[in-house]
Each structure stands twice: as structure tokens, then as C-alpha cells.
Amino acid sequence: MFLSLSIICLTVAVLLAQVNKLTAEPIAAAKAMKLQNAIGDVVPEFDNNPIDEAYLMPDGRGDSLLVYPAKKGDEVVGFAVNSTAAGFGGNFQIMVGFDVNDKVVNYAVLQHAETPGLGSKMDVWFKDTTKPSQSIIDRNLSKGMLSVTNDGGTIDAITASTITSRAFLDAVNKAYSAYAQSNADADTGATKDESGKNSGNTESETDDENITIEVDELTEEEISNE
């Protein structure tokens, strides 16, 4: 019996290893395409490969964010910034796009675990341009960081989801801090890494596991608490 179980376990392990080997490349390609599409959704039209030119910039909070420069020819037309925050259901990840004039072009939610029907509305709530009091599109953050009206700001929070709304705007504000430094460096013709030293094309690794959208169901009690 022991020998039979050992042979079965070994066989299953070999099969799983082979399946993982066969699927690793297509999965990686699909994730890279998803990331590329997210960048394309949030910045002006470009013709370079922002992923290949990505670099880290400080977010003003003691951490660094990945910045993807979008270029048309030799001219920088915008930046996509990968930012995170701790929401009601856990950490979430967004891609925020800026033009070169401090304005938000668009954003995309890459991953979240917010309450379905409540906090999950952040994927569309803050881009509804028919409601200027809740949309962040075309907002010029050089005139001030974003906050919800409950905190004295100008952005309407998602109904019954103030925690999620605060976290979302915090992620956008962090993204802007990284963008502002990148834009300043672009104006001077230099790109700096997080240590402040000049650098050329900087290779960077992205955690591709974080670009899949995961929505966890929460309990009725958690929903009512939010």
C-alpha cells in the first residue's frame, strides 16, 4: 500500500510539473497583455513600449511605485502609475494615467476585494464624467490632492462606501506624487531612479500576480458594516 501511494503521488507531481511548464508561458503572455491594455486605457496615444521602459519613483510615503512612460516618437505624452491602497476588503491595485499637464486622463482597477455592489463600484464611479462632483477625470492635481466631501474635499464618495472611496483617492494621490517627479525629470531630460541618481533605461520587475482581478464575496455583516 505504501509503495502504491508513493508511485501515485510521484506520478501526480510529475504531471502537475509538466502542466505548469506548458502553461507558464501562455499565462505570462496573457498577463503582460492585460497590463499593456490597462496602460493603453489610461494614457494618451503612444507608440513606445511603456512596460520595457518602466521604472520606480518615490510616492512621498517612503515607498516607490512603478511608472510607465508613454511616448509618441521622442516626446513624452503621459505616464501610467501603478498604485495601491488598503480598502475595506483588503489591498487593491489601480493604474492611474496622467498627461503632461498634471491632469488625470483615466484609471483602471487591476485588482480588488471590495464589497460587490458597494466598494466594487470604484471601477466606474470615479470616471463618470456626467457627474463632475464624483469624477476624477481631467482633475488637475497640481491644484490640490483629492479627498471626499466628508473630509472637506470635492469628490463625492461611493454611496455607503466611504472607506473604499478614501482608499481609492489615497491611491490616486500617491500615484500623482510619483508622476510629478517623473514629469519634472522628463522636463529636464533626465530620468531618476528611487535613490535620486540619473539612470537610463531601467529594468524592473512587476508582480504579474497582482494584475488579475480578484473579487471576494464578503458576508452580510461586513457589507452592513461598510
| Average pLDDT rounded to a whole number, residues 199-222 | 41
Q: What is the pLDDT of residues 83-131, one digit of tens each?
A: 999 999 999 999 999 999 999 999 999 999 999 999 999 999 999 999 9
Of the listed ranges 94-103, 181-190, 214-223, the one predicted with least confidence: 214-223
> For residue 110, is it within any domain?
yes
Q: 27 in a domain, yes or no?
A: no
Residue 72 lies in a domain: yes
Examine the pLDDT at 187 and tell me if it is beyond 80. no
Weakest-pLDDT range from 7-11, 67-71, 182-186 = 182-186
Kindly give the residue spans of alpha helices, DSSP state H, lying in 75-161: 122-125
Q: b vs e for 172-210, b when ≥16 Cβ sit within 10 Å of the residue's Cβ?
A: bbbbbbbbbbbbebbeeeebbebeeeeeeeeebeeeeeb
The answer on pLDDT for 216 being more than 60 is no
Give me 137's grid cell: 477625470
Write the pLDDT tens digit of every residue in 113-122.
Answer: 999 999 999 9
Evaluate whether residue 208 is within a structural domain. yes
Domain range for residue 86? Answer: 40-225
Percent of the chain with pLDDT over 70: 83
Give residue 189's pLDDT: 62
Instruction: Please give the average per-residue pLDDT across 73-77, as a whole number.
Output: 93
- Is 88 within the bounds of a domain? yes
**Total domains in the fold of the chain:** 1
In a domain, residue 19? The reply is no
Residue 118 inside a domain? The answer is yes
